[in-house]
Structure 1
């Protein structure tokens, strides 16, 4: 073998190793970015399930002819606002998450008022469909919490991957993603009042 060929082989090997190493870093970022998108899809699916259940709940409650129409209107409007907020998971910003969170908080708030006002309607409280929907909503709220936790875990994994050195040298076009935070005031206990006079 010729002497000049050995350095050429070494240089080509170093370039090939460097290329495959950088490609591995890029492919890892793509995989983690897709995991964030998939986790966001789960969050949206659970919120969609809640919105679907709320639609059925509203129809059931509308059957009670003397039920407060203002409460139902609030739930319907909050649900419509929440479904109008969409987020592109590949380009999530803190502002988009805040808007999404605010809209979903409006749904939770109006739904809570609806469920509290149901206390005044014994025939509605005893309705089998209503009770089933109420149980499904409670279950869905738990699924939403789990999906949000998984989303934040995938965001943490992604952010750690792209921000760590030396990955950050090769992944300048990948931006840090925001976490799904609790709505403002979620740290305060909820006031629950039961009216036993009825």
Structure 2
């Protein structure tokens, strides 16, 4: 064989290897986009499954504390009606009964709920909501990065030729939030 045939054969083999490499790169980047989108959906699903349970617990705590506050207010009102100059044993008995019920209810509640501060529960709820939203935001950023890599992978030369000849993949849209964009006056001229 002549050297020119070997050179041509080497160029053909090299071209074939480059095409396969580009082809596989496009497929890999497309799969990364799909995986990143699945991660976004997973984070949203996690948020949507977690938050209602947290809100339900917070609501139950709030209802309990509102009931305790109402009972305390009723007890204070009943105590305010007691007259120090005129003994009223029936009124005193009613106040004592209300006191016992309030203390017994709080004792049971303290055993069931060691920390009865709804404000801290709501702070924890807000922290969890914020963390869940941060996770979704991070997943969206990863998705958009993978979309950019994929779109670049099918747009640059010579990848654009391999894509046009063999794959015919279309560019993927990045995630956009129209509400967030509406908050900016600046629009890049790209």
Answer yes or no: is 1:56 the counterpart of 2:48: no
Which runs of 5 or more residues in structure 1 are unaligned?
A: 66-123, 190-198
From 176, 182, 185, the equivalent of 1:181 is 176
CA distance in 2, matches of 1:54, 1:148: 19
Report SS of the residue matched to 2:174: coil
User: How many equivalent pairs are there?
Assistant: 129
From 162, 165, 169, the equivalent of 1:170 is 162
Which residue in 1 is equivalent to 2:39?
A: 42
Which residue in 2 is equivalent to 1:133?
A: 125
Given the two structures, how large is their TM-score scaled by the length of structure 2?
Answer: 0.58
CA distance in 2, matches of 1:7, 1:177: 43
From 18, 22, 40, the equivalent of 1:25 is 22
Q: Is the 8 A contact 2:54 2:125 kept in 1?
A: yes
* Bigger-Rg structure (1/2): 2
- CA deviations on 1:71-110 (whole Å, 9 max, x unpaired) are xxxxxxxxxxxxxxxxxxxxxxxxxxxxxxxxxxxxxxxx
Report SS of the residue matched to 1:171: helix
Structure possessing the higher relative contact order (Cα contacts under 8 Å, 6 or more residues apart): 2
CA distance in 2, matches of 1:9, 1:148: 50
Counterparts of 1:75-86 in structure 2 under 5 Å?
none
Which residue in 1 is equivalent to 2:150?
A: 158
Answer yes or no: is 1:149 the counterpart of 2:141: yes
Which runs of 5 or more residues in structure 2 are unaligned?
A: 64-115, 185-190
- CA deviations on 1:113-167 (whole Å, 9 max, x unpaired) are xxxxxxxxxxx98165554333211111111112111211111111111111221
RMSD: 2.7
Q: Indicate the structure with greater helix content.
A: 2
